Structure 1
């Protein structure tokens, strides 16, 4: 457990230095990272900081906290704290700042901004330097475990497209329109009174739910509405209106969906996993076709006319087996990451309440 805690104003713990403007055209090619309020924005040949630094968003992404292991150049939308600006261990201070809720300190309605005087008035528990280093080491190790799990997920997400390409790219197969290999429907939004957020009824899918690892937030319990546009598990859902045109996913259970989404309930010649990836390969064409209007839109007729190859069912089923095995491994990895996130949150809370 941390001992020797002392309470200080932040002004007595660190100095927030203003970053310095550096237009993209004024940067000289080099290895020095250039940071804005939202993170890395480029590179330069000369640093502004003295050694490692913490970069804090001042304008735009206010309160964001980024760590640079190398000398860097924070631009004028950010503050920075380098080793000349604090007596604290920088890694400990980095985690401390991430725990201080800086992103909620905006006072400007027009352009989000973080006033450093407001930050300086915050109170901080500052343990001895030895304790700071111990805490930082624990949090760094826990965070690295999370980073490894995220890298595993990224590799898993690359594996399926590679498997699809190996099985189907380069082969020549007859093509068919979507409405020849499945039933195409456009969604609708039922009456407000039939939608709830209590997991009662069937999921109501919107574009924000497509390809998301989070559960659907709303459900429909209106039986009459369900009878009109509900689709079974395995149906393809594709956003065809708005900024996320081309975003797609498979329904994992019987589902309803709004009018921005078209669905394909596959017939016997298409395996759902194959259909998902075959249409995914048309995303560029879908976006290009939709972009011809002021509001990006691909109507049901245009969507129905899209053509996909129809390979032998044995090949599709082989890909489906890979898809299902991948899903099981990916779900395990997601669950493990969620556990690591909970563990990290607990460690962070204990670290900055003197309990670690």
Structure 2
């Protein structure tokens, strides 16, 4: 018997039978062009689901009664609480009660994965007749297995094939929904597949909690460091941006370094773009959760670089036009350019630590947003940007020590994000291969409950 660790590490797979073997000579079942393992069945959803008689769940909405309303999230994200409403606020007066364990789907959005099982906390909620109600036969199929099975993107397309009506208003009716076929392994193998996927899912959730906890730590640290400095007992003073250590000063951005407004080389000139190797940074290239811009969507040639406004490594990038105004990052490229939405600060490295400047700008982010003009497209012009003030310690050493503390926290966040991404990719790959029998778990040993 394989343990879960052995399974995940070695990706335990079904062996390919040798040519001429009895297994190959025997006709294997196929579903959607792929052979299924022995013992697996091809079933229609009607073989495992039974439609609930909607009359048995029908209610007349009463004006003075409060009702729980729910909705099906797209892309198999489950059934979610929407809101509480009094009956007098609900236009449709005939509704239907759902119970924990029911399966519902949106007729109009089944093709986008809008379906799922009712969790216990949504017991007694109501839905309209746009949400048919089904019951799963748990003697042949496990609820969690079916949840994972129907969460596969291929399923959304299959439900789309059964939709009828105009493109934007097409609906999937109950009988059409139940015509879709799935591969169903024996119950014991379903349990093992669920166990593997739940294990990976729990690991993803642990990383998400770690990310959120570390982000909260960073927020608290920034607040303490920019109000109290390295010594929480030292005197402070009030300034136009709030409390800061008494020995710190407010510095205009124009005094921190040179401000460079980006410029886009003409896109009609191929010699500026084709075969380019110098990064062209736009707001979309600046990550939301970490300091460095590590890659860009587009690159310019040396000619393109020199007709724009090149910036060096460790320049701090601030979006000053558009919906992402105030977004901040740092270039790690020796030479790069930005578009006109970005102002770059090339700091005076003899006096200012670039990482500290990055964090100081992040700290005054709300002030940056308030400085934007109230136009339909918000903007901070270059002169207003240069006049923004940030709190700065007098010595490079203190700046660097503060920056190192915050950079260490950011590295922990990035590491957890990388682990989460790897686990999400593993979950996606495993989900598809386990559901199609490409990876087998029949010999996997799982703990008994």
Q: When the two structures are superposed, what TM-score results if normalisation uses the length of structure 2? A: 0.66
Match of 1:167 in 2: 225
Please say if 1:101 is aligned against 2:154: yes
Match of 2:34 in 1: none
Please say if 1:290 is aligned against 2:366: no
Deviates more, 1:275-284 or 1:106-115: 106-115
Q: Deviations over 1:311-339 (max 9, x none)?
A: 23332111221233334434433333333
* Local SS of the residue matching 1:156: helix
Match of 2:172 in 1: 115
* Local SS of the residue matching 1:159: helix
RMSD (CA atoms): 3.8
Q: 1:333 aligns with which of 413, 416, 438?
A: 416
Q: For 1:209 and 1:42, locate their aligned partners in 2 and report how far apart those are by CA, in whole Å.
A: 34
* Local SS of the residue matching 1:203: strand
Match of 1:204 in 2: 280
Q: For 2:304 and 2:220, locate their aligned partners in 1 and report how far apart those are by CA, in whole Å.
A: 39
Q: For 1:311 and 1:67, locate their aligned partners in 2 and report how far apart those are by CA, in whole Å.
A: 56
Q: 2:98 aligns with which of 28, 49, 66?
A: 49
Deviates more, 1:209-218 or 1:58-67: 58-67
Gap change, CA 1:319 and 1:139, over 3 Å in 2: same
Q: For 1:128 and 1:115, locate their aligned partners in 2 and report how far apart those are by CA, in whole Å.
A: 29
Cα contact 2:249–2:392 (8 A) shared by 1 = yes
Q: 2:340 aligns with which of 242, 249, 259?
A: 259
Match of 1:224 in 2: 303
Q: Deviations over 1:97-136 (max 9, x none)?
A: 1114355565788858663565434320112333222211
Unaligned runs of 5+ in 2: 1-13, 15-36, 87-95, 228-242, 441-449
Cα contact 1:55–1:74 (8 A) shared by 2 = no
> How much has 1:91 moved relative to structure 2?
0.9
Please say if 1:89 is aligned against 2:142: yes
Q: For 1:162 and 1:86, locate their aligned partners in 2 and report how far apart those are by CA, in whole Å.
A: 50
Deviates more, 1:325-334 or 1:344-353: 325-334
Please say if 1:40 is aligned against 2:84: no
Cα contact 2:66–2:85 (8 A) shared by 1 = yes
Match of 2:24 in 1: none
> How much has 1:158 moved relative to structure 2?
2.8
Q: 2:190 aligns with which of 132, 142, 153?
A: 132
Gap change, CA 1:141 and 1:34, over 3 Å in 2: same
Q: Deviations over 1:50-69 (max 9, x none)?
A: 21456656657931566654
Q: For 1:272 and 1:55, locate their aligned partners in 2 and report how far apart those are by CA, in whole Å.
A: 54
Match of 1:233 in 2: 313
Gap change, CA 1:34 and 1:13, over 3 Å in 2: same
Gap change, CA 1:54 and 1:317, over 3 Å in 2: farther
Q: Deviations over 1:67-99 (max 9, x none)?
A: 6542423755985766x3443311111111111
Q: For 1:162 and 1:78, locate their aligned partners in 2 and report how far apart those are by CA, in whole Å.
A: 47
Query: Larger Rg: 1 or 2?
Result: 2
Q: When the two structures are superposed, what TM-score results if normalisation uses the length of structure 1? A: 0.81
Q: For 1:190 and 1:27, locate their aligned partners in 2 and report how far apart those are by CA, in whole Å.
A: 63
How many residues are treated as equivalent by the alignment?
349
Q: For 1:245 and 1:60, locate their aligned partners in 2 and report how far apart those are by CA, in whole Å.
A: 34
Cα contact 1:139–1:347 (8 A) shared by 2 = yes
* Local SS of the residue matching 1:175: strand
Deviates more, 1:9-18 or 1:173-182: 9-18
